Structure 1
Amino acid sequence: MSLIFLFLIILKISLSISNPNRKVSFCHFPRVIDLGKLIIFIKILPIMNLQEIQGELQELELQMNKISLSFSDLLSQIHPENRISAENLLHYLVLRSNDIQNLQNELHAVGLSSLASCESHTLHQIQVTLERLGIKSETVAKSTSEFGENKIKNSSKHLFGKPQKKWLSAVMVTFDSSFLSQPELIEELLKSGMSVARINCAHDQESVWRSMIQAIRKAEQNTGLSCKIHLDLAGPKIRTLLLKKGRKKGKVELKIGQKFWLSETENGFEKDDLVVSPNESKIIESLKIGERVLFDDGMILCLVKSTDDNKALLEVVRISSKKPYLKAEKGINFPDTKLNTPSLTAYDRTCLPFVVSEADTVGFSFVRSPEDIQQLRAEMSQISNSYPSVILKIETAESVRNFPSLLLEGMKDLSFGVMIARGDLAVEIGFERLVEIQEEISWLCEAAHVPVIWATQVLESLHKSGLATRAEITDAGRAAMAECIMVNKGAHTLEVLKSLREIAKRSQGHRRKNRLLFRPLGIAKSFFNVE
């Protein structure tokens, strides 16, 4: 009832101010407002929830401080320059382990930060909000908004170079051997915004890669512009190899409900049996009944029906292509399976001496666990004490599940980055989840102050045909929020860079990472300027 009395006093004062000539006494209030409605109104008043809000914020702060202590051994293994960032990542993981939707609504209702854009400075944002409520924290978080922004900016500059004028994001362009006969194109790419050249070690050979790098260096001299070199390791080539039926034609027709074998060898099968090899060892032994196997960028979905040591029986449950053929050299994905195949292949190891010698950054394809990063780091350190910064390519369901651990392992080096490789990732996690997962990866990277490369099919239709689709224009706007945008090979690369620059310029005026920004709107200004 004391709260009701307080409200009546406030209401009396407000009525007196609004009408100074009118005398207001408490006997007027039954006619002013119904008491039952008044009690309901008081219950939903935001000001009456301040103590509860304060309690929830303090509980979050307590959880974050506890997690810092419990992970102190791990934090001591992080590179000294990254420890504040690693601790902030842990704080953000604590925040996102809680359901704070109601708390956010309450914070918004009383005009306080709803914590919606606190990725880079999580604990600090909570402490600042508590300070607005009159609560001073004993220890102040080191990761502030300014600290996080500067850390990402400096790391991006180290990995991707300084973005050119009129660009807020760096641009990575995938090179093709055909560029060697077009030195003027390489110069135009530099002038149009390219700051990183990507060379895929899955294609061509060392002599061609070296020639590409030499051509880039010459273009740098001619233009006065600089360009970083990124070399992508091939990773495991898990692709279809038809062993029996369909081997000569290189393809075989499938039907829904049909069963066929996945095996590393053709031994023990009949001539007309359909047997497909994944072209990599130790895969079949990892499969379990009921797990999904996808072929050809997810166009064909199968389920594992039975397994033994060297073969697995698959059943076709979905065919999304109009032409129901399984062809040779098509990709295979195992989204439910914990594979025992190494992410760093024997072929990758043969590439490492060249990579360590020539690259500024190295793309680690199909990385799945912290142990994978440790292995790559050990291999490169045997070649040289100074090795390229690692870019973790997130393209499997397992790498998504292990992503926080991958980030913390990467932070043991001074600098590293993350590439969201959306091609295989979409197949692995399902196209419906891609939007959600790519955002979650971006949020965690911002919390760790780690630069992001937005990759795969950016303005792909424009690149191939010269005309962009409406959907990919929207996607390009989201890509502009990343520190670096990767462009694949295509016939219209210069047009893609021109369009990207315009889209990025407009998008980045409205949004920075997860935070909406209010630059002046032409549509708003013109409304008031109409005579």
Structure 2
Amino acid sequence: MRPIQERLSALGLSSLGRTESHVLTSVNKVLEALHRLAQIPVPECKAPAPINGFEEGRMLLKQHTEALLGPPPAKRNARIMVTMPTEAADDPRLVEQLLANGMDCMRINCAHDDASAWKRMIGHLRDAEQSFGRKCRVLMDLADPKLRTGPIEPGDQVIKWSPRRNLLGQVTAPARIWMFPEKQASAAPSPADACLPVQVSWLDRLTVGDRIVFDDQRGLRCEIRVVESVGQCRWAEAVRTAYVTPGTTLRQRVGKKKQRDTKGCRKTKLGPLPSQEQVLILNVGDTLILTHDKVAGRPAQLDVDNKEIMPAQIGRTLPTIFADVRAGETIWFNDGKIGGVIELVESQQVTVRITQARECGEKLRADKGINLPDSTLRLPALTEKDIRDLPFVAAHADIVGYSFVRDADDVDELEARLHVLGGEHLGIVLKIETRGAFEQLPSLLVASMRTPCDGVMIARGDLAIECGFERLAEVQEQILWICEAAHVQVIWATQVLEGVAKDGLASRAEVSDAVTSQRAECVMLNKGEHIVKALQTLDNILQRMQSHQHKKRSMLRPLELASRFP
């Protein structure tokens, strides 16, 4: 249609650019107008009845949205879904705040927590509904067969502490060190920069004001000062950075001696310290070996000239994928931060050449996502965990989120299992997070239309990796269009106002993204320390924008700017 769209507009006719929910009606109307302009008899329409007219298409989408997500809130059309943090299980006040500030749907990610915690979250919501006199749907998101990196060998047992300094290097706050009996582990009652296990007999003799000296791992003489006693434990403070390991000798200064020898000192040695998390540092051109998940990962081994002797290796979950990948296919790690190409596939390992990472190198940790957009993975959409979780979901949720769905057979399987569990009344939301699911979207929609109500979630995080970040805008546009044509509601998900949720501040790009999100019927927020503020911000944006834009249509409301112009 593109070549004639401008020509249609020049005639004062619809360019057919906003007809998703009533395509055939719009085409027929334009054809009728063209025939009359050309003074040609209008041919009889032979399309099958019924045909959705302009208003019928919009009404169908509205009805389907209300069936899945409930009636719209008082001041906006788009709903807001909020992902529950673990804290929501034991903090009813948090759930109350979310409901009071506009949450329309509670999302519980079944990949986290357990049935006991989920039940408490839902219980807090039902209590809050009674208090505020409004309803809120519950979506339970099944955990997908996520491919992730395996564990990495633990690093050294070393602890570092540093005081806080200003731009001039002056100490503004000393480092706080918690010392406790090594055989009676005691958590620090307040945030500590370091927790040190030492002999109880040595601790008992420490008093406020005592100085403790030691040589740290750099060979530098360091000192800390005791500032508080808490039972058998002690708080100390340091104004210099230090590195300590198990066996570091601590000396308690007695009297006013300042000599470097050990005379006049009482000594102890540090007990076992927690191993530091080890990471793999990967650069473009590096080799990475993927092994079975039972083999602990390790960094690359280098010689004295910093040349690689042994490449870095790391395990991964889902060992059966080795049979589904081929040399030349791309692979991505950690939400697309690290990219590579598979060079060699063997029975016990896969060799990857890193092709994308920051110039300074990118860190790869355990339990980070792996994406294989070019590979056809023979994995079940419903895992054993999903099947164990389904009875709870059927009994307590309103909607089930279907992760890793790929084709119509997957939808049929979920429907069959819900039917057996008495959960055929549940709405189903198809999470479009892989290239395969995007390419099969029309078939998925036809299959899901057999359910009482259905929807689509644009899982933009994984989808961007699978389809390419540069294509994400195009892909999400196509999903919005085809779902509107099917009169199916869309949930806009992943990193919406993430800066507000995590840090309390939004970037300009995040605000623009939130503005665009109002084209969907529902917008999802992820958990974060400032989630209530993120919810308030999104509610405000959606209310302001709905009078300017609906789907792709600009709403010609009176402009404040124009009204001020004489």
TM exceeds 0.5? yes
Structure 2 distance, partners of 1:387, 1:279, is 34
Residue of structure 2 in register with 1:251 after alignment: 279
How far does residue 137 in structure 1 lie from its aligned partner after superposition? 3.6
Q: How does 1:25-36 map to 2 (within 5 A)?
A: none
Amino acid at match of 2:416: A
Alignment match of 2:382 (pick from 332, 341, 344) = 344
Residue of structure 1 in register with 2:518 after alignment: 480
Contact 2:288 2:312 in 1 (8 A): yes
1:122 maps to 2:23: yes
Residue of structure 2 in register with 1:21 after alignment: none
Residues paired across the two proteins, number:
428
Contact 2:152 2:278 in 1 (8 A): no
Instruction: Give the match's secondary structure for 1:520.
Output: coil
1:105 maps to 2:105: no
Residue of structure 2 in register with 1:132 after alignment: 33
How far does residue 376 in structure 1 lie from its aligned partner after superposition? 1.5
Instruction: List runs of 5+ in structure 1 lacking aligned partners.
Output: 1-99
Residue of structure 2 in register with 1:318 after alignment: 356
Structure 2 distance, partners of 1:130, 1:237, is 49
Amino acid at match of 1:340: R
Q: How does 1:62-211 map to 2 (within 5 A)?
A: 100-133=1-34, 134=36, 135-139=42-46, 142-211=51-120
How far does residue 246 in structure 1 lie from its aligned partner after superposition? 7.9
Instruction: List runs of 5+ in structure 2 lacking aligned partners.
Output: 37-41, 157-274, 302-309
**1:147-179 deviations in Å (ceiling 9; x for gaps):** 111111111111111122112111111112312
What is the TM-score when the length of structure 2 is the normalising length?
A: 0.72
Structure 1 distance, partners of 2:462, 2:336, is 9
Structure 1 distance, partners of 2:501, 2:363, is 27
Residue of structure 1 in register with 2:558 after alignment: 520
Could you say if the C-alpha distance between residues 321 and 454 of structure 1 is closer, same or farther in structure 2, counting changes exceeding 3 Å?
farther
Amino acid at match of 1:393: K
Contact 1:246 1:252 in 2 (8 A): no
Instruction: Give the match's secondary structure for 2:452.
Output: coil
Contact 1:233 1:365 in 2 (8 A): yes
How far does residue 442 in structure 1 lie from its aligned partner after superposition? 0.5
Structure 1 distance, partners of 2:360, 2:464, is 20
Amino acid at match of 1:183: P
Amino acid at match of 1:263: T
**1:151-208 deviations in Å (ceiling 9; x for gaps):** 1111111111112211211111111231244323322322221111111111110011
Percent same amino acid among aligned pairs? 40
Structure 2 distance, partners of 1:256, 1:246, is 24
Could you say if the C-alpha distance between residues 385 and 525 of structure 1 is closer, same or farther in structure 2, counting changes exceeding 3 Å?
closer
Residue of structure 2 in register with 1:56 after alignment: none
Structure 1 distance, partners of 2:74, 2:43, is 43
What is the TM-score when the length of structure 1 is the normalising length?
A: 0.76
Contact 2:287 2:311 in 1 (8 A): no
How far does residue 237 in structure 1 lie from its aligned partner after superposition? 2.5
Instruction: Give the match's secondary structure for 1:229.
Output: strand
Contact 2:497 2:514 in 1 (8 A): yes
Q: How does 1:287-298 map to 2 (within 5 A)?
A: 287-298=325-336
User: Which stretch shows the higher mean deviation, 223-232 or 514-523?
Assistant: 514-523
Structure 2 distance, partners of 1:511, 1:181, is 39
C-alpha RMSD of the superposition: 2.2
Structure 1 distance, partners of 2:462, 2:397, is 24
Structure 1 distance, partners of 2:514, 2:311, is 46
Amino acid at match of 1:262: L
Residue of structure 2 in register with 1:83 after alignment: none
**1:316-366 deviations in Å (ceiling 9; x for gaps):** 111137453321111100111111111211111100000011110011112
Alignment match of 1:300 (pick from 338, 350, 368) = 338
1:212 maps to 2:121: yes
How far does residue 146 in structure 1 lie from its aligned partner after superposition? 1.1
Amino acid at match of 1:264: H
How far does residue 224 in structure 1 lie from its aligned partner after superposition? 0.8
Instruction: Give the match's secondary structure for 2:491.
Output: strand
Contact 2:154 2:278 in 1 (8 A): no
Q: Which of the two has greater strand per residue?
A: 2
Q: How does 1:6-85 map to 2 (within 5 A)?
A: none
Instruction: Give the match's secondary structure for 1:282.
Output: helix
Amino acid at match of 2:472: L
User: Which stretch shows the higher mean deviation, 163-172 or 381-390?
Assistant: 381-390
How far does residue 263 in structure 1 lie from its aligned partner after superposition? 3.1
Structure 2 distance, partners of 1:457, 1:324, is 21
Instruction: Give the match's secondary structure for 2:387.
Output: helix
Structure 2 distance, partners of 1:433, 1:367, is 21
Contact 1:161 1:228 in 2 (8 A): yes
Amino acid at match of 2:354: V
Could you say if the C-alpha distance between residues 323 and 259 of structure 1 is closer, same or farther in structure 2, counting changes exceeding 3 Å?
closer
How far does residue 492 in structure 1 lie from its aligned partner after superposition? 2.1
Amino acid at match of 1:233: L
Residue of structure 2 in register with 1:239 after alignment: 148
Instruction: Give the match's secondary structure for 1:283.
Output: helix
Instruction: Give the match's secondary structure for 1:241.
Output: coil
Amino acid at match of 1:256: V
1:222 maps to 2:131: yes
Contact 2:76 2:546 in 1 (8 A): no
